[in-house]
Structure 1
């Protein structure tokens, strides 16, 4: 399976903790979805669905995130979020900035996203950048299913900002290979081999980029 499509197993229900991101970039992702909502009720329902573990396995690839979401009123419903990929010029600027600053590269390897790096090319979505889709009968967008998916995606981002880079068009290995070509020395004493050793192995990919219902 291509590294440009990654699959993540469904999150279990969460007890005693709200469905809110811990990292600054995860919270920024959540705000991007919340700011598009004309009606707050689907957002509240989406938080409940996310915390209850009603979102199935999540498929992440360039420009698209997809899953199925269970619902007592029907479903499961096929839900997706679209996000534009970065242009070649934006990728060059982002990778150039990361290669020039050893601290930025070291932060990425530690699964941290430096604000300056993200702001330089508008890496995180802003108002209207997230385009939700769902085959549920509801008319509002984001619906509660898209809101639930978006919240759980912010949990993925908490653990690994390379998931955001994949959404924006490039897999982790592509990013690290290009950064290795652009820098003449390893970040803070980290060799390329050590960088790959420190990188978390990806979770198993889904069989396809089509969400798989939970049974």
Structure 2
């Protein structure tokens, strides 16, 4: 697999991370770091809080020990970020589904922060090797390995900023779920749900549902490229004389329905995400 093919196969957030390292001007050192990462010289990577601790086998018998970290956000800063995330339905839904929203950076920039480091000087690395350059090839190898970790789990990037996956999901569920709490009554000091005494069906409101949904169980995502029109195939209309652009009646109708389907899908997504309220 070539470098271009490998790069294209990575998720966008992983590519963004690696682009920073690829901007490093010492290309020979980068190539050695890339080879170290590919050849298995990175023996271990583990997290200690927001810091990455690793061992990389170099030319010596004993592997080099190194650490890598970003500036972690404070509890107050993370509080603002989580609050902003919870207000955006699509952000909360994708993160709870283990995905990184495409424009997640908006959440951080809106609070005066940056999820990704701006320059390599924002990445703090220390290595026990004698090389005075930073990043050395050992730190570079771990940097490349972290790019692969990000593709597997985007929450690793958040952990470098001071919050684990479990903490983010817990806080999101608490904020999103607080709005969905139902009122309760108390009997002998024990909270109990209010009984529902309405069992009669109302035909006019049968297809309507006005109760809040548990946000952690709802994932809003756009439809795939294949639509119901693709599944059903062309509509068998009566044959007519072909137009100057070689379109039959069936082609014209299917093209119109395709455009209409996309427009309705977009409006449904906006409605589902409550864009007007966010």
Q: TM-score, normalised by structure 2?
A: 0.57
Q: Which of the residues 17, 20, 28 maps onto 2:16?
A: 28
Structure 2 equivalent of residue 125 of structure 1: 117
Post-superposition offset of 1:111:
2.5
Q: Note closer, same or farther for the CA distance 1:136–1:97 as it changes in structure 2 (3 Å cut).
A: same
Structure 2 equivalent of residue 92 of structure 1: 79
Question: What stretches of structure 2 of length at least 5 have no aligned partner?
Answer: 109-113, 181-213, 220-278
Structure 1 equivalent of residue 29 of structure 2: 42
Alignment partners' CA distance in 2, 1:181 and 1:162: 18
Q: For residue 113 of structure 1, give the secondary structure of its aligned residue in structure 2.
A: coil
Post-superposition offset of 1:162:
1.2
Q: Quick check: 1:69–1:78 contact (8 Å CA) kept in 2?
A: yes
Deviations 1:117-162 (A, max 9, x none): 2343211222121111101011211000000000001111111111
Alignment partners' CA distance in 2, 1:110 and 1:153: 21
**Pair 1:135 & 2:128 matched:** yes
Post-superposition offset of 1:69:
0.6
Q: For residue 104 of structure 1, give the secondary structure of its aligned residue in structure 2.
A: helix
Structure 1 equivalent of residue 168 of structure 2: 175
Post-superposition offset of 1:68:
0.5
Q: Quick check: 1:66–1:79 contact (8 Å CA) kept in 2?
A: yes
Q: Note closer, same or farther for the CA distance 1:148–1:169 as it changes in structure 2 (3 Å cut).
A: same
Post-superposition offset of 1:62:
3.2
Alignment partners' CA distance in 2, 1:61 and 1:168: 12
Q: For residue 32 of structure 1, give the secondary structure of its aligned residue in structure 2.
A: helix
Q: Quick check: 1:102–1:188 contact (8 Å CA) kept in 2?
A: no
Which structure is richer in relative contact order (CA contacts within 8 A, separation 6 or more)? 1
Post-superposition offset of 1:189:
4.0
* TM alignment of 1:204-215, pairs within 5 A: none
Q: For residue 79 of structure 2, give the secondary structure of its aligned residue in structure 1.
A: helix
Structure 1 equivalent of residue 48 of structure 2: 61
Question: What stretches of structure 1 of length at least 5 have no aligned partner?
Answer: 1-15, 192-215
For the pair shown, the structure with the greater C-alpha radius of gyration is 2
Post-superposition offset of 1:87:
2.3
Which structure dedicates a bigger proportion of its chain to helix? 2
Alignment partners' CA distance in 1, 2:42 and 2:27: 20
Structure 2 equivalent of residue 209 of structure 1: none
**Pair 1:160 & 2:153 matched:** yes
Q: TM-score, normalised by structure 1?
A: 0.73
Q: For residue 71 of structure 2, give the secondary structure of its aligned residue in structure 1.
A: coil
